[in-house]
Structure 1
Amino acid sequence: MSVENALKLLGVSEGASFDDILRAKKSIISSCKDDPDTIAQVEAAYDMLLMQSLSQRRSGKVVDSSVRFADVKASNASGMGSMPKWLQTTVKSSPVSVEAPAAKELGVQAGVYGALMVLTYVNGASTPLGVSYGADVPGLILATSFGATLYFMTKKNVKLGKAGVITIGGLVAGAVVGSAVENWLQVDIVPFLGIHTPATVVSEFILISQFLVSLYLI
C-alpha cells in the first residue's frame, strides 16, 4: 500500500498529526467493526503512515513529536493509566471512547457552553415568580447546544450518525440528573441562587452534560 492510498483510506492529509491519524483510524474501525476486510485495510494504512514517520525520524527529518514508537514511553494524555484495569477494558471495547481534549478545544467549547449557561441562568432568574418559563427561550438554547455538540464532535472526525446518538445520550443523561437535582432542591417552592423555575435547573445540567460529551467522547 502506498502512502497516498493510506492517506486517502484514512481520510487525512499529508502532514496530519499522529493524534489525527489515530483518531481517524479509531473512528473508521468503530463504524466498520463487522467488516474485517475494511479493518485490515485501515490497520495496514495506519501502519504504513507510522512506518513513514519512523523512517523520517531516523533520517533526521522533523516529524510530529506526539508519534510514539517502541523506544518512546507512551504518554498518559487520556488519563487511561490512572483507571482500574476493568474500566480500561470496558472503555477500549466500547464503540464510544474517551479522549482528553486539547487546550485550544477546551477554551473554545468552554466559552460556547459557558455563554449558553449564563444566558439560561439570566432568563431563569429574571422570570417573575409564578410566571411560566418562556418555552421559546430554553428550547432555543438547548437547540443551540445540540447543534454545537454535533459540530464539535464532527470536527473530531466522528461520523454524523454516531455524533447524533452520543449527543442525544448526553442530553438524556443531563435531563435525568437535572430532574433529580431539581426534585431535591424544589426551586419552585424555595428559590436557589435566584432561580425559581425547574426548567432552568434541568437546562443547566443538560448544558453541562453536552459540554462534557463534546469534550471527551469520540
Structure 2
Amino acid sequence: MAAVGESGPSSESDDPYGRLGLSPGASFDEVQAARSRCLAQTEDDPQAKARVEAAYDAVLMARLRDRQQGQVSAAAASASQKEESAASGNPSLPGVSVLQRLRPRLPQSPPSLSGMSPSWSLAEGQGLVVRLVAGAAALLLLLFSPGAGQLVLALGLIGCFLSQIRRGRRPLPSLGWCLLVLGLGLVVGSVLTASLSPTAFSQLNLSLEQVQAVPAALLLWLAALLLA
C-alpha cells in the first residue's frame, strides 16, 4: 500500500496529508515517520516546525473524526486503533497533546440539580428516636436556660446538617437548606418578638432571646426529622 505521496511533502500545501507527503491510507507508523522526517527537514525554522506539527495534529484529528463516522478503510481504522491504544498506554507519545488540547473544548454536561431540591420523609428506626430525644432536650434547654439561645441554635444547625448527610444528601445542598431554615426561623422569631408586649414576656417567663430562638429551633428540629 502506498502511503507516501509521489510528489513528496509540500510545506505550502493546505492539505495536511500533502504537507506531510502522505496519502489518506497511511498507517500509524508511516504517519510518525513522516512527521519525524518533515521536522528534520525544517532546519530549526520555528514556523516550519509549527506547520508540520499543525499538519500532524490535523491528520490525527481527521482520522479520529472519520473513524467515528465510519468512513475509514481497514488500514486507517487499524492505524486509528493503534493511535488510541498508544495514547492511553504512554502519555508521552505524540498525539496525546492533541487529545489533551481537545478535551477542554468538549461540551461538559451541566451539573445535576436533583440534589438541590427538597425531599421530605420522616426518619425511621433508631435515627427517629435519636432526633426526637435530641430535639426535645434542646428545646428544654432553650426554655429553661435564658442564656442558651445561641448554643441551642448552633447545635441545632449542626444536627440538622449531619442528619441530612446521614440520609444521603450532598454537603453543599445540606448546608444551604440548614441555613435557609435557620434564617426563616430567626425571621419568624423577630416578627414574634416585635408583636409581643413587654407584659407578655413577663407572663411567659421568657427572655427576648429565648422567644426569638424558639421558632428557629423548632424549624431546625422539624428539618432534621423530615428533610432528606
Higher relative contact order (CA 8 A, sep 6+): 1
* TM-score (norm: length of structure 2): 0.46
Which structure has the greater CA radius of gyration?
2
* TM-score (norm: length of structure 1): 0.48
